[in-house]
Amino acid sequence: MAKLFEPVEVGGLRLANRIVIAPMCQYSAEDGAMNDWHQMHLGQLAMSGAGALTIEATAVSPEGRITDGDVGLYDDHTENAMRQVLQSVRRWSDMPLVIQLAHAGRKASCAKPWDGGAQIAPGDANGWQTLAPSAIAFEEGENPPTALDRAGMERIIAAFADAAQRSGRLGLDAVQIHAAHGYLLHEFLSPLSNTRTDEYGGSLENRMRFPLEVFDAVRAAFPAEKPVTVRVSGTDWVEGGWTAQETAAFARELEARGCAAIHVSSGGLDPRQDIPVGPGYQVPLARTVKDAVTMPVIAVGLITQPQQAEDILAAGDADMIAIARTVLWDPRWPWHAAAALGASVKAPPQYLRSEPREAGRILKEMKP
């Protein structure tokens, strides 16, 4: 059997194969609440045959949203809206559902990408004051964030824990904590955005402290039998920034605290980043982390071809593959990968007749 289609366990959660759909912001919520768009979006991806589906970055507080269209999970209204969407998805699909919990930090209060994506100043429509470890703006000319004091940090830890409890009530199968792409937890990790002089800045140990406190709070709040994972940026791609070696050290600390898997992306913290974009360009970062831990490692980033994904796993560079824009372009990518690699995937019975004769018998009935 192709390794891509071998089952894998993540903290006791069994995935039918090693394809994970990564979180993708849709910027289409209303006051943090999911709606019919999310039902259609997640519903189609839940039919894709992937091993797991990750819900987009979900803010743990209103000021933690990237835009006013971000999904949130911070009150009963947002929880109930998500429950309705999940009930619809689960009625027809048995794919494990993961939620990414996030706080955007200094990269919050922005316009939607199709409206330009620029920061919106506090006091303007759909704008608010941002928060960060230090009062350093993401880009020159932006309104600087407020540097968090200890009370503010405690409120954010409590917000992550509350969102994790709500995730448990919703029956979600796993939580992923967002510590990548220049958002709040990544901002604490990187010396480019964290210039604090207290116990939360300076040394690597200090810069890791707040993200680890968030992890501990989420792990304690989410059901013990279900996994908590973390997404990281493996490097800032800027001299003097967060490095792959520091990522590996952070991963070891997370694993010691019960982290069930780590998803290795990169960048997003500094506009000066110089990223060598190309097929599988982030895979070496995943390999650096994999060499440092025993928990499963997920590789992501321009992994678009089935044989490419298979080769990454066969080489031992990662344990799983994440796809994002690839699956928006081709929502049946796992089906097509199974056909290319001689494997099989689950599909709803309504779709079994779609299988071309030349594909072979690759579709197995999904029974939610």
185 phi/psi in degrees, rounded to 5: -65, -35
Answer yes or no: 183 catalytic: yes
**Alpha-carbon distances of 130 from 92, 152, 253, 354, rounded to whole Å:** 39, 12, 28, 49
Cβ(133)–Cβ(210) under 8 Å?
Answer: yes
Q: Are 207 and 189 in contact (CB under 8 A)?
A: yes
> 257 CB contacts (<8 Å, ≥6 apart)?
212, 215, 216, 219
Give the H/E segment covering residue 287: helix 283-290
Is residue 204 within 8 Å of residue 249, measured between CB atoms? yes
From the candidates 27, 74, 183, 200, give the one annotated as an active-site residue.
Answer: 183
CB 296 within 8 A of CB 8: yes
For residue 150, count CB atoms less than 10 angstroms from its CB and return exposed for 0-12, middle for 13-18, buried for 19 or more: exposed
Alpha helices in 139-282 (DSSP H): 150-169, 184-189, 204-221, 244-256
What is the rounded CA–CA span in Å between residue 183 and residue 179? 7
Q: Which residues are catalytic?
A: 183
